Structure 1
Amino acid sequence: MQKRYIQFLLGLILLPCAALAQNQGWTVYGGIGGDHYSTLTQIDRTNAKNLKQVWRYDTGDAGILQNTPLIAGRMLYGVTYGEKVIALDATTGKLIWRFDPGVSGSQPVRGACFWQDGGKGRLLVGIMNFLFELDAETGKPVETFGQSGRIDLREGLDMDPKRATVAMTTPGVIYKDSIIVGFRAPETHPAPHGDIRAYDLKTGRMKWTFHTIPHPGEPGYETWPEGAWKNAGAANAWAGLTVDAARGMLFAATGSAVDDFYGGDRAGNNLYANTLLALDAETGRKIWHFQGVHHDIWDRDFPAAPVLATVLHDGKRVDAVAQPTKQGYLYVFDRVTGQSLFPIEEMKVARSDVPGEVSSPTQPHPLAPEPYARQVLTEDDLTQRTPEAHAWALEQFRAMKVGTAQFTPLALDQQTIVTPGYDGGAEWGGPAIDRKTGVLYLNAQEIVTTGALTDNSKPHGPGMTVYLSQCAVCHGEQRLGSPPEFPSLLGVTKRLSNPQIEALIHGGKGRMPSFPNIQGDLLAQMEDFLRTGEDTGPKVTGSQGRRSPAPGTPAAAAANPHGAELFSQNCAVCHGAQATGVPPVFPTLIGVAERLSEPQIADILKDGRGRMPSFAKLSDADRASLVRYLGAGPLPEEKKELEAAGEVHSRYRFTGYRRFFDPEGYPASATPWGTLNAIDLNTGKYLWRIPFGEYPELVAQGMPNTGSANYGGPIVTAGGVMFIAATVYDRQFHVFDTSDGKLLWHTELPYGGLATPATYMIDGKQYVVIAAGGGKDPKHALGGSYIAFALP
């Protein structure tokens, strides 16, 4: 122990913090400013071909590893698939310590934070809903932080902590004596608000909160229906944060609000969802913002952390922040003022024809740089891999809704082409930027996906109801999934025991979040549904499900006498006792709930419209009763059933993520299916673009350079090289020449390296390390290794 402690202290003394972060070590996830850049030059264009494996550490856990390790002094810190924190000797891969947090779960842990408390190294790691602070030398929790070394991120949000689904998949950032964090949340209700929060590094005390879903009186509240913040959720900064320490500015990129694909209950632009935020890192005060998608109904989260760069613009050096997107756009802003360095227009887009949906008439569209991913799909863009694959793709394509531009709304009960797909475009790995040149390097996906909406009003038993509301978004209505990304659940009870299924539901796995709200009888009934596929139990409906009887009828008065009385006193004078109206002056209210959502009707009652006066004098309870009488809300006795059935909120639900793949499992679009791009941020022009990734079996058939799905990002160095793994099917670790995209070296990893590498120098030797666990390719086994390479 004494020898190990001396070794640790010597490492910290010899390599001060600034040197650790910028030269020898890799102590900041994503690098300083999130730019994935290292000043090391030992490995360069001339000698990268000589790289050799120097050590490998097998974690003992098999599963997708998305972790970028940190290197401080002579220690390397990583996390296993089973969420155990490990410290290795960074020169040999020898295990020094291993910390078991005692938390069940297998959510991705993409990195950690390192800081020094005086001369003591500290490691902050998010495991599920907990943020731990560990002594970097021993791996033991720092008892003075939070409760015995951890804080529960579910606490302090606008919902019961026991029901909140929170996971810190991407690490926070450190600013002075604070750690600032975001978190992952579900894609459907119930979901917590995506608050960005700062905590004291020594005590774990919360210092400030920024509400990404504004509360009454806060800027942005007007972009939501009145009171919608109470039930709204997500708009969370899951992809990571970036800090400009010199200016005290925090940059955060948020995702969509729930439900992802139907926004009838959240009319408006929905700030600060899908927003690049610049905040005061000391207080959380907003400095400026840019919303990339208004009223998102496509799951177009900002997928990666903002990246800082200094560029030459109009003859002047400008400190900028760049933000990649799922839709293939790259935004570049002056980080101080929030002004875009390239023109952005508000492009007119197709409007949704789904009843109750009020989609935005325009969306932001940057005029430069050009998109790095395909924006539309035409018949000319379909696969030519084989005549049979093309014929199949053409038949499917002609049966789908196809847009002529980005932001085509999903159709009801008809698959709609979504390109780039739900995974982008860009993904969580993010780009790298060469600090010397201002060139940005980004790997992108070209996988086309489809999606549709369907009516959510049909009554179902509780088990099926909760499945459709919280599981079908990924696994589909028929439980078929979309393998390998979203596995089929047919026969899942034969593969897994009930305790294993419950552990998955409550702990999550990979892309699947946890669902702590599914408990007790509801959990048992969902397990029955998974086992049998049968819709059993007492039938309940969603909030737009079984409606009150038509207004103006005896049945309506009997079901809701108070609502009938309010209608008679306030509405019948214009719309008639039977609610038939006198069109076109006074429209009929028969079927109004099919045309407008519950919040929309409530807003009209409160604010008035045209000749109709405001009924703001009515209490909230009276307006709610009147809304139910008009047929737009659940009856009081239904609310209890809804709560018992997992809180189904939306009038329409998403039928599930689907990849547009041919019957043999290859993309049904033309190649390339993945690319690697170099974009000069000084000019907005592309320097080069190449296919990225291959299918080994297609290479054997004479079809190389197809590109493929890729996860994890690049790093670049002052040596003029880029290190990147990421490709799913060929399991390659690559070194490219940053000047022209030439492949300098590659090696096959034992498992896919779906992570971002790190590079560091110890004792005059430069290393590069990658986490490899595989995943997303059902043809290859999973593992769990950290593998380091260096020159001989």
Structure 2
Amino acid sequence: MPPGTNHDWPVYGGGPESIRYSSLTQVNRENVHALEVAWTFETGDAYPGSEMQCNPLVVGGVLYATTPKVNVVALDAATGRLLWRFDPHEGRKVLGKMRNRGVAYWTDGSGARVFVGVRQFLYSLDAATGRPDPGFGAGGRIDLRDHLRPGEKQMVSLSTPGIIYRDLLIVGSLTSETLPTPPGDVRAFDVRTGALRWTFHTIPRRGEAGYETWPKDAWRYIGAANNWTGMSLDGARGLVFVPTGSAAYDFYGANRKGDNLYASALLALKADTGERVWHFQTVRHDIWDRDLPSPPSLVTVTRDGRRVDAVAQTTKSGYVYLFDREKGTPLFPIEYRKVPPSDLEGEVTAAMQPFPTRPAPFARQLLTEDMLTRRTPEAHEAARKRFATLRSGGQFVPGSRQGTVIFPGYDGGAEWGGSAYDPETSLLYVNANEMAWILTMVPPPAPPRARERISGAQLYARECASCHGADRRGAPPEFPSLVGVDDRYTDSEIMTLVSEGSGRMASFARLGHDANRAIVDFITTGRIERVAGRRRSPMDMKYLSDGYKKFLDADGYPAIAPPWGTLNAIDLDTGEYAWTIPLGS
């Protein structure tokens, strides 16, 4: 059956090919303006700062979706009538931000299951009733923290659903951006029992290919290189395509010298065993948070008069990589070019990085002074003065003490929503962000006493500041402000969040109660009230990012002139653009 001819939407992204395409023709350009609301369903569990990023599934007339607090609901797709609801929290207060992009659906023809990740757990639910499957794991769930590193239970969760291959659920993970964090192993679980069937180590262990691209036994203390975006599947070939993110710590890699395979790479794995077939690393020794942001699209293109099954991967830098699906050979040339070294002590960046030559980038690659805001003369002058203090040299300019422009920014280029592909025209549709961010590297606070002791402020700088900022104001909505957090949560609840972690936030249980207490006191008061004992660690950093900071003017508008994004249609047969329109003004 050709992609998109099934009128159901049974997989995240529409189908295992991740092309977000439907052949339905009832709604078209001539009548779309006449659409009316058929029904509305109120989830009833929204809260300040909550999100709904779910891509609902529709199977056999039933819509399966998740709510802001990651309840799973099954609705009659025609009427919106609630068929069942599963609350994994059982009425308990939800601490921290919840994020979920949908569920996975499996059936063998006689029974069906819905799989959902909630914090560190993966649940299997009966698709007919919403009740947990008692035969799956322990009481219908498994703990995703298991089977990663011996003796550890660092926070790991599943925000994007896995993909089904026969009787396997193949999943990635969402982890912290800082150290310590678990490795981003790709794993396959038995859909009936929850038993672990195979694991692919994205940070290789001794004897595995790629081990030589890391320091000795890096997998024991370096983390991530995870798949948080979801994946695509060629069921006929038994190949699963897995995009990965950067290794942790994201912005300084002195303790992970080397190219760091298989971080920031596209992997083609045998779906039944996890064996690697081929890979391509889009960023060597990634210190820019250049995670591959979305599942690749499985496409078929015309090349030299013949049809070629291919895989198209978009990136945060605004590139489209196109590979032969079976062999991994590029279908357009890729050049390796020299890039600037880092001047930070201890950092050794890769000398060369890959640049696809076609299609041309779908986002601008270099921020220059003539691109700065003209919103008002005052805004332009302030942006010009700030820009003059920064480094801006295009892609792969390392973070610096003075501040480096990251453009496109941490959120792309391409975003997590992914691209869409029309198999009838061979056009790939992709939207681009064009927002500049500033990466400034700072040394952590000097210890007030002997090296074995550290204050709550220093613990915060090491564990929290990269996301929430040195000033605790964060970068909402992705990284919430911690100013006034004690107005939203009790002291006990904040201690629980710090100790247990939540979503991308790591668990700090390893630091011990006194250290957690010191962090909470600093967060809630801004004062250094306690000192906690600690030991030297290979996770110690000489430099840390001062937080996720957009390049904005004094009024909070982008410091660059519009457009702040584009929508692009790219012909994958030729690598040429059919059209581009601006988005964001």
What range describes the TM-score normalised by the shorter chain of this pair?
Answer: over 0.9
Deviation string, structure 1 residues 666-703 (Cα, Å, up to 9, x no partner): 1001111121111111111111111224xxxxxxxxxx
Partner SS state of residue 461, structure 2: helix
Give CA deviations for 1:594-642 in whole Å, capped at 9, x if unaligned.
Answer: xxxxxxxxxxxxxxxxxxxxxxxxxxxxxxxxxxxxxxxxxxxxxx435
Paired with 2:4 and 2:60, the residues of 1 have a C-alpha distance of 10
The answer to whether the 8 A contact 1:107-1:511 is kept is no
SS state at 2:354 partner: strand
Decide which moves more: 21-30 or 50-59: 21-30
Contact map agreement 2:174 2:504 (CA 8 A) in 1: no
Contact 1:20 1:73 in 2 (8 A): no
Aligned partners of 2:405 and 2:373: how far apart in 1? 15
| Secondary structure in structure 2 of the residue aligned to 1:23 | coil
For the residue of structure 2 that corresponds to 1:278, the secondary structure is strand
Are 1:107 and 1:508, in contact at CA under 8 Å, matched by a contact in 2? no
Partner of 1:235: 225
Partner Cα separation in structure 2 for residue 94 and residue 507 of structure 1: 36
The one-letter amino acid paired with 1:665 is: G
Q: Deviations over 1:287-309 (max 9, x none)?
A: 00000000001010001111100
1:78-157 aligned at under 5 Å gives the runs: 78-102=65-89, 104=94, 106-157=97-148
How many Å separate the matches in 1 of 2:2 and 2:275?
A: 31
The correspondence for 2:256, drawn from 247, 259, 266, is 266
- Over 3 Å counting, the alpha-carbon distance change for 1:305 and 1:19 in structure 2 is closer
Query: Does the residue aligned with 1:24 lie in a helix, a strand or coil?
Result: coil
Give CA-to-partner distance per residue, 1:126-147, whole Å, 9 cap, x none.
Answer: 1111111111110001111111
- The answer to whether the 8 A contact 1:127-1:168 is kept is yes
User: Relative to structure 1, is the Cα distance of residues 61 and 687 closer, same or farther in structure 2, using a 3 angstrom cutoff?
Assistant: same
Query: Higher relative contact order by CA 8 Å / sep ≥ 6: 1 or 2?
Result: 1
Could you say what secondary structure the match of 2:117 adopts? Answer: strand
Pairing 1:27–2:10 present: yes
Which of 559, 562, 565 is matched with 1:668 structurally? 559
Q: Is the 8 A contact 1:20 1:72 kept in 2?
A: no
| CA distances 1:456-501 after superposition (whole Å, capped 9, x unpaired) | 3611544223211121002211223234543432333244321342
CA distance in 1, matches of 2:310, 2:347: 36
Q: For the structure 1 residues 169 and 38, does the alpha-carbon distance in structure 2 shift closer, same or farther, using more than 3 Å as the test?
A: same
Cα gap change, 1:371 to 1:516, in 2 (>3 Å) = farther
Equivalent residue, structure 2, for 1:617: none
Q: Distance in 1 between matches of 2:479 and 2:121?
A: 26
Post-superposition CA distance 1:150-179 (Å, at most 9, x none) = 1111000015343x1111011110001111
Contact 1:20 1:26 in 2 (8 A): no
Instruction: Find out whether 1:212 has 2:202 as its counterpart.
Output: yes
Write the deviation string for residues 200-252 of structure 1: whole angstroms up to 9, x where unpaired. 11111111100000000100001011222221110001111111000000100
Distance in 1, Cα, partners of 2:255 & 2:385: 35
**Where does residue 744 of structure 1 map in the other structure?**
none
Larger Rg: 1
- Counterpart check, 1:42 vs 2:26: yes
Answer whether contact 2:180 2:506 (CA < 8 A) is retained: no
1:407 aligns with 2:396: yes
**Structure 2 CA distance, aligned partners of 1:252 and 1:190?**
23
**Do the aligned partners of 2:466 and 2:545 also contact (CA within 8 Å) in 1?**
yes
Amino acid at match of 2:308: V
Corresponding residue of 1:489: 482
Q: Equivalent residue for 2:246? A: 256
Find the aligned partners of 1:119 and 1:309 in 2 and give their Cα distance.
32
Q: Is the aligned partner of 1:641 residue 2:535?
A: yes
Q: Does structure 1 retain, via aligned residues, the 8 Å contact 2:255–2:539?
A: no
Change (3 A) 1:515 1:444: farther
Q: What does 1:296-695 align with in structure 2 at a 5 Å threshold?
A: 296-403=286-393, 405-412=394-401, 414-456=402-444, 458-459=446-447, 461-505=454-498, 517=510, 520-538=513-531, 640-642=534-536, 649-693=540-584
User: 2: distance between equivalents of 1:314 and 1:510?
Assistant: 46
Higher helix proportion (structure 1 or 2): 1
Which residue identity is paired with 1:666? Y
Q: Decide whether aligned partners of structure 1 residues 689 and 82 sit closer, same or farther in structure 2, where only a CA change above 3 A counts.
A: same
In structure 2, the CA distance between the partners of 1:114 and 1:516, relative to structure 1 (3 Å rule), is farther
* Cα shift at 1:397: 0.5
**Aligned residue number for residue 291 of structure 1:** 281
Q: Counterpart amino acid of 1:442?
A: V
SS of 2:256's partner is coil
Inter-CA distance 19–416: structure 2 relative to 1 (3 Å threshold): closer
Find the counterpart in structure 1 of residue 160 from structure 2.
Answer: 170
Stretches of structure 1 lacking an aligned partner (at least 5 in a row): 1-17, 541-639, 694-705, 707-792
> Do the aligned residues in 2 keep the contact of 1:19 with 1:25 (CA within 8 Å)?
no
DSSP-derived class of the 1:326 partner: coil
Q: Percent identity?
A: 51
Q: TM-score, normalised by structure 1?
A: 0.70
- The match for 2:52 is 65
For the residues of structure 2 that align with 1:53 and 1:314, how far apart are their CA atoms? 47
Counterpart contact for 1:21–1:28, Cα < 8 Å: no
1:649 CA drift (Å)? 2.1
CA distance in 2, matches of 1:178, 1:684: 35
Q: Which moved more, 1:95-104 or 1:45-54?
A: 95-104
**Equivalent residue letter for 1:111:** G
CA distance 1:649–1:308, shift in 2 (3 Å): same
Letter in 2 for 1:443: N
- State the alpha-carbon separation in 2 of the partners of residues 532 and 399 from structure 1: 32
Provide closer, same or farther for how the CA distance between residues 374 and 53 of structure 1 changes in structure 2, counting only shifts above 3 A. Answer: same
3-state secondary structure, aligned to 2:380 = helix
Q: Compared with structure 1, are the counterparts of its residues 208 and 119 closer, same or farther at alpha carbon in structure 2 (3 Å cutoff)?
A: same
Residue in 2 aligned with 1:586?
Answer: none
Matches of 1:689 and 1:509, distance apart in 2: 39
Q: Cα distance, 1:534 vs. partner?
A: 1.9
Aligned-residue RMSD, C-alpha: 2.0
Q: In 2, distance between residues paired with 1:484 and 1:101?
A: 24
Question: Structure 1 residues 418, 141: CA separation in 2 closer, same or farther (over 3 Å shift)?
Answer: same
Give the distance between the partners of 1:94 and 1:499, measured in 2 at CA.
39
Which deviations, in whole Å up to 9, do the C-alpha atoms of 1:21-72 show, x marking residues without a partner? 7422111111220111112111112211211111111101222100011111
Q: Distance in 2 between matches of 1:200 and 1:454?
A: 45
Q: What is the alpha-carbon distance in structure 2 between the residues aligned to residue 516 and residue 84 of structure 1? A: 27
Aligned counterparts of 1:506 and 1:94: Cα–Cα separation in 2:
39
1:75 to 53, 62, 71: 62
Change (3 A) 1:58 1:499: farther
1:77 maps to amino acid: Y
Partners of 2:341 and 2:403 lie apart in 1 by 17
Q: How does 1:745-756 map to 2 (within 5 A)?
A: none
Does the Cα contact within 8 Å between 1:309 and 1:433 map onto a contact in 2?
yes
Change (3 A) 1:48 1:450: same
Cα distance in 1 for partners of 2:503, 2:146 equals 23
The one-letter code matched in structure 1 to 2:416 is: W
CA contact (8 A) 1:236 1:255 kept: yes
- Per-residue CA deviations over 1:405-447 (Å, capped at 9, x if unaligned) read 31111112x1211101111111110001012111111111111
Letter in 1 for 2:465: A
